[in-house]
Amino acid sequence: MREPLADHTTLRLGGPANSFITHTDPADWADIARAACEPKQPRLILGGGSNIIATDAGFPGMVVRMATRGITARALQQGQVEVTVEAGEPLSSLVDFALTEGLSGVEYLVGIPGTTGAAPIQNTGAYGQQISDTLTSITAYDWSTHRIVRIPASECGFGYRISSFKRHPGRFTILTTTLHLRRASQAAPVTYQLLADVLNVPLGTRPPLAEAAVAVATDRQARGLTLPSSGPDARQVGSVFLNPTVNEHQAAHVRAYGGPLHYDARGEARVSAGWLLQHVGYAPGCRLAEGIYCSTQRTLTVVARGSVTSENYLGILYRLSREVEQATGIQMHLEPTTRTRKRPAAR
């Protein structure tokens, strides 16, 4: 029987893959790469399936689920520790490892589902920290040369929830990630106002490592940013839209309605996608269509319940982005990867 992708995605949507292989032993990679090339067929690389909307038709080629495990650490100079992680290792295991070993650099990524190998794809991050802050290089299989290559972080094209891997998908499969963490009893400086408020400290403070991670985990729980194993919000991909950048005119509109704007180091303004959805009338818990709802705690998390199709689910997301664009002129972009029809033009 062909493997349903719904069994491997947190939305539990997606039809069968033509062929499906789980990669567990790094030594087997050459065989898997060969199998994925012969006969020539499309490939889809899957981690934890927490940031992907798979099509109802499934996938007409080979799906490789990355499930290799392993974390190794090597002390460098001046309290730096080089940590290398297999692609299939859950990001949560890396965070646990760092906290247990007293290493700072990934503590604010606590509670994010998915694998470490997928984290560089969208430069996964939260609470002012992102994987690119400490990632120094990756090893990847280059499908165009059929070689394993080491790519330094400086060549990964990292930005806000983006990398060159996401811009040009398909060429590289990440096999390992290497990070430089710092031996410290204190966390990285707090740069995110919400976290500063939660911890009741000024921006720039370095709270104790464990305290910082507990504060983030507790706040994620309270704000519906965790993946429940059951219940009404169990089928989701987290935030469905990125926080869009806005021009001065759009920023003025947001300001006029009291919306929050965040400025990055280059002075570029972003507006909260969740606020935009609320601005056009949506709220946590609201029904968007049969079996499709905003999560009970967050407008920006859209959950599936019952027998929903990915086509219906995506249709709702496109409808939401059209409504926001019509009301504000601001274009929202999907955060999860999709392999379906293109976004219909705004009417």
Nearer to ligand FAD, 80 or 245 (CB): 245
6, 10, 271, 300: residue in contact with ligand FAD (rule CB under 6 A):
10
Q: What's the count of helices (H) and strands (E) in the chain, helices before strands?
A: 8, 19
Cis peptide before 39 (omega within 30 of 0): yes
Residue reference for tokens 């002390």: 75
Rule CB under 6 A: say whether 246 interacts with ligand FAD: no
Q: Is 121 in the site for ligand FAD (CB under 6 A)?
A: yes
* Alpha-helical runs (H) found in 85-178: 91-101, 164-167
> Toward ligand FAD, which CB reaches closer, 105 or 251?
105
What residues contact residue 179 under an 8 Å CB cut-off, 6+ apart? 82, 83, 84, 85, 94, 105, 106, 131, 134, 135, 136
**Residue 226 carries which side chain, given as an amino acid letter?**
T
62 binds ligand FAD (CB under 6 A): no
Q: Which is nearer to ligand FAD, 84 or 124 (CB)?
A: 124
Tokens of 172: 């590289």
Q: Which is nearer to ligand FAD, 149 or 327 (CB)?
A: 149
Does the protein bind ligand FAD through residue 46 (CB under 6 A)? yes
Verify binding: residue 52, ligand FAD, rule CB under 6 A. Answer: yes
Tell me if residue 206 is catalytic.
Answer: no
Q: Does 119 bind ligand FAD (CB under 6 A)?
A: yes
Residue 125 or 207 with smaller CB distance to ligand FAD: 125
Which amino acid makes up residue 167? R
Residue 137 binds to ligand FAD (criterion: CB under 6 A): no
Structure tokens at 294: 């905003």
Q: Which amino acid is at 197?
A: D
Q: Is 49 one of the binding residues for ligand FAD (CB under 6 A)?
A: yes
Dihedral sign for Cα atoms in the order 192, 197, 203, 204? negative
Residue of 161, 235, 322, 339 marked catalytic = 161
We find the least distance from the C-beta atom of residue 134 to ligand FAD, in angstroms, to be 15
Contact in structure between 85 and 70 (CB atoms under 8 Å): yes
- Spell out, one character per residue from 201 to 240, where the chain touches ligand FAD: x when CB under 6 A holds, - when not: ------------------------xxx--------xxx--
Copy the structure tokens of residue 176. Answer: 């390992």
SS3 175: strand
* Per-residue binding letters, 172-201, with ligand FAD (x by CB under 6 A): -xx---------------------------
Question: CB-wise, 10 or 328, nearer to ligand FAD?
Answer: 10
Which range binds ligand FAD by CB under 6 A, 23-31, 122-130, 282-290, 325-333?
Answer: 122-130
C-beta separation of 172 from 137 below 8 A? no
According to DSSP, the β-strands at 269-271 and 287-289 are unpaired
CA angle 125, 130, 133 (to 5 degrees): 175
Least distance to ligand FAD from the beta carbon of 233, Å? Answer: 8
Among 221, 220, 229, CA closest to 192? 220
**One residue of 66, 99, 212, 269 binding ligand FAD per CB under 6 A:** 66
Stretch near ligand FAD under the rule CB under 6 A, chosen from 30-38, 67-75, 169-177, 272-280: 169-177
The packing angle between helices 310-328 and 248-256, to 10°, is 90
**Cross-strand partners of 74:** 82
Which CB atom, from 160 or from 253, has the smaller least distance to ligand FAD?
A: 160
Active site residue 270: no
Type of residue found at 342: K
Indicate which residues carry an active-site annotation: 161, 239, 335
* Binding stretches for ligand FAD (CB under 6 A): 10, 44-52, 66, 87, 112-115, 117-119, 121-122, 124-126, 161, 169, 173-174, 225-227, 236-238, 337
